[in-house]
Chain A
């Protein structure tokens, strides 16, 4: 089995690409035999959240972040060291003192199996033969909370983290599709995947055309205006042409 990966990204409308606070791995399309992939969604209402999201994704990518997030203290120190070195006006100093926050979804795909860990509202979807096999960690659009519990860059905000850490696994077959999505896109998928009608629309999406597709959805009011990241992974048989 090979894994064809296609990340699709777009910043919130009205924001610049530099203000995009999601993070992902892989960054670019490609084909892999096995893969550690992740999306993280830095919270708008905190500062230096993009940096925190990138640190989480990088750590997961390199296998430094296990399913229990035991390496979190080292990442928190890294975040604090990076922020402490920046001269800031009073408001940015006070904001940084509150810490950064991010949702994290990490998925390891290898040997016909996926294992996922999640905190917050970034979601994994497993599709087989056009049907939704699994949605993780949130299964209904109405369960996407306005204020999700997220991973913080400060230990004092993570006391309840173990209660919010979710894990799941599944078997992956040739022809299956996985989606990793940050919350706005996850909401769209949760509403649309049940009817199975959106698979062709999603399959046709390419990185260059994704921002325009997203803007059309925003105009139609079917997706919330937010930084948006979607990674599509196709499990392709060794015998199939790519």
Chain B
């Protein structure tokens, strides 16, 4: 059965993020309070990476269950987007990512105090990426680079859980229709199934958020429908974990969200016993 390989330090998996840094991302984000879509992308990627690092963290350090890459695309630039000490690197072990954010901010968060009230806590928020918006949207080239990276990684790790590619964008590709490049990623093969391509659509439209739909009929525009069509169906165990988490997902649910959060996907990744009451 596909998508059943154990994810462990000796048999890690791969997560590759593609982040749209094009000029159109300067437009307002439909789900944000005065924020731009570029701010939305920066928030999304930083939160995804933070949650992934924390997922892999144990008391003694971060376990390398994942190799992680981030490809940025905007204007004439498509390539590894890490800054600082990680600049130029395409895939890095998650433990290295944990040690090398650009900076760590202190933010406050309201937490349940366990007695029916809320308590404000100061939390550390690592920042790897700031908002960037310039030039066109070479999504086809970004997906092609992702295909080469994922293909090389899969050849080196033929028995691993297949890579997951998460594309964060407003869907307005300027170098052609990205469907073909997306298909090529999803048709690569490994012993445990094909790579998964998920899309997080950040739109200027003030339409209701959509999470893991099974069909395109309720989606608000052609960009959303394009990205939905490019997205892989959720593997059974991810779909089951989503249902257990309270998401209403149909049998054909795809790895696509519109103006919503994809951090839940990190929660659904299986690296060991996940308590139902850990939220």
Contacts and interface: CB of A to CB of B under 8 A. Distances in A.
Interface of A: 14, 19, 41, 43-48, 51, 86, 88-99, 101, 145-150, 152, 154-160, 183, 225-226
B114 interface: yes
A150 B279 CA distance: 12
B57 A43 contact: no
B237 to A, nearest CB: 7
Interface residues of B, number: 40
Interface of B: 6, 8-10, 50, 53-55, 57-62, 98-99, 104, 111-115, 121, 123-124, 126, 237, 240-241, 244, 270-279
Given A43-B272, A96-B59, A101-B277, 11 more contacts: A14-B10, A44-B271, A47-B58, A91-B57, A92-B58, A95-B58, A146-B237, A147-B275, A150-B277, A152-B277, A152-B278
Most buried by A among B104, B112, B244, B273: B273
Nearest to A48: B59
B272 A226 contact: yes
A148 B275 contact: yes
A160 B275 CA distance: 13
A146 B240 contact: yes
Contact of B273 (A14, A45, A94, A98): A45
B159 to A, nearest CB: 14
30 contacts: A14-B9, A43-B273, A44-B271, A45-B272, A51-B59, A86-B59, A89-B61, A89-B98, A89-B99, A91-B62, A91-B98, A91-B126, A94-B57, A95-B54, A95-B58, A97-B121, A97-B123, A99-B278, A101-B273, A146-B237, A146-B240, A146-B274, A147-B274, A147-B276, A149-B277, A150-B276, A155-B115, A156-B113, A158-B114, A225-B6
Contacts of B62: 91
Contacts of B99: 89
B241 A46 contact: no
A96 B215 CA distance: 39
Contact of B126 (A48, A90, A156, A159): A90
Contacts of B124: 90, 93-94
Contacts of B271: 44-45
Contacts of B276: 145, 147-150
Contacts of A160: 277
A14 B277 contact: no
A225 B11 CA distance: 13
A95 B57 contact: yes
Contact of B278 (A41, A91, A98, A183): A98
B273 A44 contact: yes
Contact of A45 (B8, B53, B55, B123): B55
A43 B98 contact: no
Most buried by B among A95, A147, A160: A147
A148 B273 CA distance: 8
A91 B275 contact: no
A90 B49 CA distance: 13
A46 B278 contact: yes
